[in-house]
Amino acid sequence: MKKIEAIIKPFKLDDLKVALHEVGVHGMTVTEVKGFGRQKGHKEIYRGAEYVVDFIPKVKIEIVCEADRVAQITETIMKTVKTGKIGDGKIFVMPVESICRIRTGEKDKDAI
């Protein structure tokens, strides 16, 4: 089992949700985050004080799936959120040790 973490531009979230649904992903966790990579921040000026704001708002989505689904899901994510401009984001895939559905007690593959 694998966990896919994708940092994406916030306005792409709705499109991504729909696209993932179409490939059979019916659950995800979404967090609002800030960060930067190569995308530059902006400057804010309040009277005499100037601030450089490095961090840019992003959205992180986390999906847990079976290992053989990873390629299709990451493919879908990339196709849907890519704009071609700096700041499109990154996808991380990591292994998951175990899963448990709290309500029923189902484990691992049955809990996905």
Partner 1 sequence: MKKTIIPFFVIAAAIFVVGLAGPVFAADAPVPNKGDTSWMIVATVLVSLMTIPGLALFYGGLVRTKNMLSLLMQVFTVFSLCMVLWVIYGYSLAFTEGNAFFGGLSKIFLKGITVDSVAATFSKGVVIPELIYVFFQATFAAITPALILGAFAERMKFSAVLAFIALWFTFAYLPIAHMVWYWAGPDAYTDAEAGAKAAATAGFLFQKGAIDFAGGTVVHINAAIAGLIGAFMAGKRVGYGKESMAPHSLTMTMIGASLLWVGWFGFNAGSNLEATGLAALAFGNTMTATAAAALSWLFLEWGIKGKPSMLGAASGAVAGLVAITPACGFVGIGGALVMGLLAGALCLWGVNGLKRLLGADDALDVFGVHGVGGILGALLTGVFANPALGGVGVYDYVANSVAEYSTSAQVISQLWGIGTTLIWSGIVSVIAYKVVDLVIGLRVTEEEERQGLDTSSHGESAYKY
* Candidate ranges 3-11, 24-32, 46-54, 78-86; the one touching partner 1 (CB under 8 A): 46-54
For the chain, give the secondary structure using H, E and C.
CEEEEEEECHHHHHHHHHHHHHCCCCCCEEEEEEECCCCCCEEEEECCEEEEECCEEEEEEEEEECHHHHHHHHHHHHHHHCCCCCCCEEEEEEECCCCECCCCCCEHHHHC
Q: Does 48 bind partner 1 (CB under 8 A)?
A: yes
Of the candidate residues 47, 85, 103, 109, the single one contacting partner 1 (CB under 8 A): 47
Q: How far is the CB of 51 from partner 1 (least distance, A)?
A: 6
Q: How far is the CB of 48 from partner 1 (least distance, A)?
A: 4
Site residues (CB under 8 A) for partner 1, limited to 53-112: none
Among 14, 22, 26, 49, binds partner 1 (CB under 8 A): 49
* 56, burial (CB in 10 Å: exposed 0-12, middle 13-18, buried 19+): middle
CB of 12 to partner 1, least distance (A): 25
Task: Identify the residue among 51, 72, 101, 107 touching partner 1 (CB under 8 A).
Answer: 51
Residues at the site binding partner 1, with contacts judged by CB under 8 A: 44-49, 51
